[in-house]
Amino acid sequence: MAAVVNPALVQYCGLPCVEARLPGGESVRVALQGAQVLSWVAQGRERLYLSPRAQLDGHSAIRGGVPLCFPQFNERGPLPKHGFARNLTWSLMAAGQPPADGTSVTLEFALQDDAATRAIWPHGFELRFTVRLQPGGLQLALAVMNTGAQSLSFTGALHTYLAVQAIEQVRLAGLGGQPESDAVRDVHGTGAEIIAPSGEFDRVYEAAATPLLLSDGASRLQISQSTSLAHTVVWNPGAARCSQLADMPPDGYRQMLCVEAANVFAPVDVQPGARWQGWQELRVA
């Protein structure tokens, strides 16, 4: 990433992006497509996984970073998988300048309904996505405003792909005792005290009240989310599933783990004129 102190519009592999860097070297890159965070460097290490085979053509879903899934999670409804927000071009609304002490920088992006979105999802809305970069930390907040005359309901997620040194070394703590839904085996259970993903791993947990701790043998990351996001999704495709994904290298599963803040099962209702917000915070521990 270029040495950008103040937020700047740049091209990354031909994709329009916003980049910002704190004086201490912390950096973030956000694509205007989907307001998708593609890179977060903290303490000299890339913390997000972006597939080297990701499609960066300006309209296809981008594999990695932090896709914004709205207004539908996965294929749980009639819309395209994970909704449409991640494929559309957002506007940069504000880019705060880092203070002299380098404590933070904030970027804000917006997306509004138009004829194309109303043709498949007949609701008036405005989305705001705020990215706040701090030394050792990144906070992501999605706000949904109902600008229409009728209530709207949605599911979705901050679909965060975390970079790990090796999936075999990954341990995730903090979901012990939480209700667990295993999509691979189609069974329900209870979260283990320490999760060590093996093979294809796709589970939805009732979100914990306290932060999670992810370790990968090289570093530790604390992961928090707002109570307005009721679920935590943990996903890794495993070797067999990864080999079937055209936008992932065959061994890509070894360098990533998704830990998502989501609303999966029960839709969120937003009344006309009302506003909902959910956030996820990542911090080097």
Contact 105, 97 (CB under 8 A): yes
Domains in the chain: how many in total? 1
The letter for the amino acid at 170 is: V
Mean pLDDT of 59-85: 96
- CATH number of the domain to which 128 belongs: 2.70.98.10
Does residue 128 lie in a domain region?
yes
Catalytic pick among 26, 180, 260, 281: 260
49 found inside a domain: yes
Cβ neighbours of residue 60 under 8 Å, at least 6 residues apart?
A: 87
Inside any domain, residue 280: yes
Residue 4 maps to a domain: no
**Could you confirm whether 260 is annotated as catalytic?**
yes
Residue 155 lies in a domain: yes
pLDDT tens readout for residues 177-188 = 999 999 999 999
Which residues, other chains included, contact 70 with Cβ-Cβ below 8 Å and sequence gap of 6+?
A: 83, 84, 85, 86, 127, 142, 144, 154, 156
Within-domain flag for 6: no
Rounded to the nearest 10°, the torsion over CA 196, 197, 203, 207 is: 40
Residue 5 lies in a domain: no
* Cα–Cα distance, 282 to 160 (Å, whole number): 10
Confidence of residue 4 (pLDDT cuts 50, 70, 90): very low
pLDDT tens, position by position, 148-181: 999 999 999 999 999 999 999 999 999 999 999 9
Domain that holds residue 145: 11-284
- Identity of the residue numbered 254: R
Q: Which of 26, 82, 123, 159 is catalytic?
A: 159
Q: Among this protein's residues, is 193 annotated catalytic?
A: no
* 227-277 tens-digit pLDDT: 999 999 999 999 999 999 999 999 999 999 999 999 999 999 999 999 999
Does residue 1 fall inside a structural domain?
no
